Amino acid sequence: MRAYLRYVLLTLFGIAAMNAKSETMKQPATDVLPGSVTLEFYNAEHFTTVQLVHDTVMGGSSAGSVRVVSDPVGLQFFGNLSLANNGGFASAEFKLAAALPARTYHSIKLNVAADGRQYQLRLKTPYIPQGVAYVADFSSAKDKQSYYFTAADFNGRYRGRLVTNLPVLDLADISQISVMLADKNSGAFSIVLYSINLSATQTI
C-alpha cells in the first residue's frame, strides 16, 4: 500500500504569521529585482501543501516531519534517514499555490540552513511522467546559505535512475518543488527552508 504523510500548511502558516517580520504576499512574490519571483516555503500564499514522501512507500523506515521555526521564519524539514529494508530517502514536496508569471527564467536561488549533508532540489512540471522529477544535487553547509542553479544543472530521474528524452526544462512551468535527502548515510538530518528565488536576468 502506498503510504505517505500529507500536511496542510495552512495550519502551520497560522503559527508562522505571528512570527513573520514581513507582510504575507498574495500570489508569487515579485522581488525587488526586475523579472524575479520569490516563493517562501512557510507562506500559504505561495505553497498550498507539503507532502512528505519517504522510503516507507517501498518498505523502508526513514522518518521526517516539518515545523515552523522563527528568527528568521522558515520551515524545518527534519528526521532520521534509515538504510534498513533497502530504504534511504526522505523528502518534502511543495505544491505551488499559483502558476508562475510567464517569463523566461534563467536561474534559481535556494535559501536554506542545513546540516552539511548532500540534498537534492527536485522540480516537477505538468509535462513529465508521474514519479519523474528534474533533479540537481547540492552539498549543504552548516549554516544559512544560498545555492544557485540553472536549468542545465537538472537532469531527469526516476527512483534514482536517470531518465532521458524528457522535455527541456522550462523553469516557468514548475508546479511542484521538493527537497530530498538520499545521500546513503543513515542518521539524523535537518534543513530549514526559507525561500526560493527565480530570476529572469541572465546573471546569478
Alpha-carbon distances, residue 22 vs 11, 40, 62, 108 (angstroms): 19, 11, 35, 22
The predicted structure's pLDDT at residue 42: 94
> Could you tell me which residues are beta bridge partners of residue 39?
196
The predicted structure's pLDDT at residue 192: 97
Q: Is 35 among the domain residues?
A: yes
Residue corresponding to grid cell 512540471: 125
Tell me the pLDDT tens digit for each residue of 99-151: 999 999 999 999 999 999 999 999 999 999 999 999 999 999 988 999 999 99
Q: Is 140 among the domain residues?
A: yes
Tell me the pLDDT tens digit for each residue of 145-155: 999 999 999 99
Q: Which CATH number fits the domain that encloses residue 15?
A: 2.60.120.430
Q: Is 28 among the domain residues?
A: yes
Structural domain boundaries, residue 180? 5-194
The predicted structure's pLDDT at residue 35: 79
The DSSP element (H or E) to which 47 belongs, if any, is strand 47-54
How many structural domains comprise the chain? 1
Q: Is 201 among the domain residues?
A: no
Q: What is the pTM assigned to this prediction? A: 0.84
Spans of the chain, pLDDT less than 50 = 1-27, 32, 204
Q: Is 202 among the domain residues?
A: no
Q: Is 199 among the domain residues?
A: no
The predicted structure's pLDDT at residue 128: 96
Q: Is 184 among the domain residues?
A: yes
Q: Is 203 among the domain residues?
A: no
